[in-house]
A = this chain, B = another copy of it.
Amino acid sequence: METTNPTPAVAGNNMAFFFNPASIAVIGASANPAKPGGRPLLALSKRGYAGRIYPVNPRHREIAGLQCYPAVTDIPGEVDMAIIAVPAAMVPEAVARCGEKGVKAAVVFTSGFAEVGPQGAALQREMLDRAREKGIRILGPNCLGLVNLGKAVMASFAGIVDVEPVTPRTLGFVTQSGVFGATIYLQATEKGVGFSSFVSVGNEADLEFADFVSYLLDDDETGVIGGYLEGARDGAKLRAAAERALRLSKPLLIMKVGRTRAGSRAASSHTGSLAGDDQVYDAFFRQMGIIRIESLNELTSFVTVFRSGRRPAGKNVAVLSGSGGAGVVIADKCESLGLNVPELQGKTRRLLEEYLPAFASPRNPVDLTAQAETDPRLAGKCLAALAADDNIHTVIVNVFLTDDAAPAVTRDIIDFYRSTDKVVVMVSWVAYGSKVVPSYLALIREAGIPVLPDGLEAARAVAALTWYQEKVVKAKPAPPETVAAVPAVPELAGSGPLTEYQAKRILAAYGIPVTREGLAACADEAVELARRIGYPVALKVQSPGIAHKTDAGGVRLNLSGDEQVRQAYDEIMDNVARHAPDADIHGVLVQEMAAGGVEVIVGMTRDPVFGPVLMFGLGGIFVEALGDVSFRIAPLSRPDAEEMVREIKGYRVLQGMRGRPPVDVEALMDVILKVSRLVTDYADRIAELDINPLVVSSRGAVVVDALVVQRDE
């Protein structure tokens, strides 16, 4: 699948007819509210949809007090959106009728299309053809539909339409699994997280996951977008949406399945979508600032903290806890998720030492000890000290409210919250049978303070928000680069693998340092080149047909004089003549021997969803034994390249070990960025690329060997 051309028709205007239609026809309307054609009718009325509702069914004259029409074309007024709930075989015809009527958007509930096999796929194509003829956009088929709660557009037959909605309507949700998505909707609503919209994308015959994410980015009510994803159709489109999300500071939290073999297998059979390699998705999410979630709690906790509107200025967290043990559990979790829980210093420390008993911990986590029971103002005093500490960016307050202490603690926490712009999360839950505490927790919530029931959830939400905020800051638009002309690379003229020499010419054209070298056609020429390059040199036969030069006897290393070069040249030609008599020999590469440094690999492969993907790792046994590599999707930004280099476990090797100086990481990043540009410029020409090894030292980086495989025409 080509991924570089997002459908231009997916502009805001068309999509808006799904989310804010002035009128809705329900084709296949039913008087039975349990049926797909009945439930939306009832829900639209019940939730107060303000537009016109037109049931369509030739067998009824009226449904639920609304006039019913034999066909969509019989409706007197305009119809913006149609809900289609007729049997599969009738869907293409229904879509065609909608086209005649001028319908802009159709939600197709019906299943029995591409998900059931080739016949269904043909029916789906037929339906899509009818839609495209008239410019109708399709959601589905085989989907639960969508709801937009702000406009009471209840275009779904799932149980979610019967649930009392919650405000604020922060969360927009897009799902490739209808039933599972609906479960998430119900459970999140129960936890007090309000939805702006919910979209079940089904087979994505026309509009896909990324289209709805993109639309929701422009929806003012939606502050956070959640999603359940089995596989993206169009990686470039999803990337564009994710990049825009980052610029708009609207976080994406995606549950992406298929991490493991079992998962991948079932995901592909579930929707027929092409599952990308999980490592690539993981890299994509990291690169794009998408928060990858595993559970519903991660989503609801994040939304709860995010909707307070506060953003952490850094990674430093103070944990104040009524239970020492719980404080340590929370601090442990924070640090394991990459946050800092620094010792408190200076004035903060002195104040806490003053307030707390001698045996309490004034450090961090701050343990209030049993003294909190005798002094209900203790938490408030300590919080005031933390508010004044500029070195603390987030405060997690783990305080168990007792009936007696609740009034004072509540007042103090709210005062503290108003006195600071730090991120604050309160961890609390209602004690057994307390009738008093819930109302105080409600006051705390009303003051805007996020309250979570569990310290680990709080740590996870703070870590995700802090990581996300760093990505937002890094993503601030850089000054526009002067776009350099695309370097010409005449080597990329055919198909299949190029020789090492050709590959290095291409890299050199992009300003990537390669070994000093030249191509010799005879022994004399080899000697002349060797003298010019300087001894010692290596000789390597160059032929596109010889993939494994060493195995063919085509490589000689560490040659330190004219005679050795001459002899090596002859040996190589003899070996190759024996080993590969028909090979097309371009000559013998005479190359300087690279001095010591760390061997790394920079490579590129094509992902079916995301296109060119770059890989980085330490060379040799690190890659082979540990798979210690990082990926990013091209094109890369400078921060992407930096993250990519720092992400590998063996990063310490680059920082200098066993007395070696650190390597020139800037030079390494420079190579990665230039490779990124090359594989982007020539995305249609390059199938694979391997620089192995790139030798990096304190003096820079140099390509010692490289492979480029061209794409078949």
B-contacting residues of A (Cβ < 8 Å)?
111, 115-117, 120, 159, 162-163, 175-177, 179-181, 183, 186-187, 190, 228, 230, 255, 257-263, 265-267, 269-270, 294-295, 322-329, 331-336, 340-343, 357-359, 361, 363-365, 367, 370, 400, 429, 431-432, 454, 456, 621, 624-626, 628, 649-650, 652-653, 657-658
Chain B residues contacting A183 (CB-CB under 8 Å) are 323, 326, 400
Q: Which residue on B lies nearest to A454, using beta carbons? A: B295
In whole angstroms, what is the CA distance A19 to B316 when docked? Answer: 45
In whole angstroms, what is the CA distance A333 to B295 when docked? Answer: 11
Sorted nearest first, the 9 A-B pairs with minimum C-beta distance are A177-B325, A180-B325, A260-B335, A262-B341, A263-B332, A179-B323, A116-B359, A270-B324, A257-B328
Q: Which residue on B lies nearest to A163, using beta carbons? A: B432
Name 25 A/B residue pairs within 8 A (Cβ), A-sorted. Answer: A111-B370, A117-B359, A120-B359, A163-B432, A177-B323, A179-B322, A180-B325, A186-B431, A257-B325, A257-B332, A258-B328, A259-B335, A259-B336, A261-B335, A262-B334, A262-B340, A263-B329, A266-B327, A266-B363, A269-B361, A269-B363, A294-B333, A294-B456, A621-B657, A626-B626
Q: Which residue on B lies nearest to A317, using beta carbons? A: B262
- Given A159-B431, A432-B190, A456-B295, residue A266 in contact with residue B625 (CB < 8 A): no
In whole angstroms, what is the CA distance A179 to B454 when docked? Answer: 15
Q: Which residue on B lies nearest to A400, using beta carbons? A: B183
- Given A117-B359, A625-B650, residue A331 in contact with residue B181 (CB < 8 A): no
Chain B residues contacting A429 (CB-CB under 8 Å) are 187
Inter-chain contact A364/B295, CB cutoff 8 Å? no
Known interface pairs A177-B324, A625-B652; 6 further A-B residue pairs with C-beta atoms within 8 A, sorted by A's residue number? A116-B358, A163-B432, A180-B324, A183-B400, A266-B365, A625-B650
Q: Which residue on B lies nearest to A323, using beta carbons? A: B179
In whole angstroms, what is the CA distance A215 to B381 when docked? Answer: 43
In whole angstroms, what is the CA distance A454 to B296 when docked? Answer: 10
Chain B residues contacting A359 (CB-CB under 8 Å) are 115-117, 120
Inter-chain contact B432/A230, CB cutoff 8 Å? no
In whole angstroms, what is the CA distance A613 to B230 when docked? Answer: 45
Q: Could you tell me the distance in whole angstroms from the C-beta of A378 to the nearest C-beta in chain B?
A: 14
Inter-chain contact B657/A625, CB cutoff 8 Å? yes
In whole angstroms, what is the CA distance A116 to B332 when docked? Answer: 24
In whole angstroms, what is the CA distance A228 to B653 when docked? Answer: 38
Q: Could you tell me the distance in whole angstroms from the C-beta of A237 to the nearest C-beta in chain B?
A: 22
Interface centre among A117, A159, A332, A342 (most CB of B within 10 A): A332
Q: Could you tell me the distance in whole angstroms from the C-beta of A552 to the nearest C-beta in chain B?
A: 17
Inter-chain contact B332/A265, CB cutoff 8 Å? no
Q: Could you tell me the distance in whole angstroms from the C-beta of A298 to the nearest C-beta in chain B?
A: 10
Inter-chain contact B364/A266, CB cutoff 8 Å? yes
Q: Could you tell me the distance in whole angstroms from the C-beta of A324 to the nearest C-beta in chain B?
A: 4
Chain B residues contacting A456 (CB-CB under 8 Å) are 294-295
- Given A336-B260, A431-B186, residue A266 in contact with residue B328 (CB < 8 A): yes
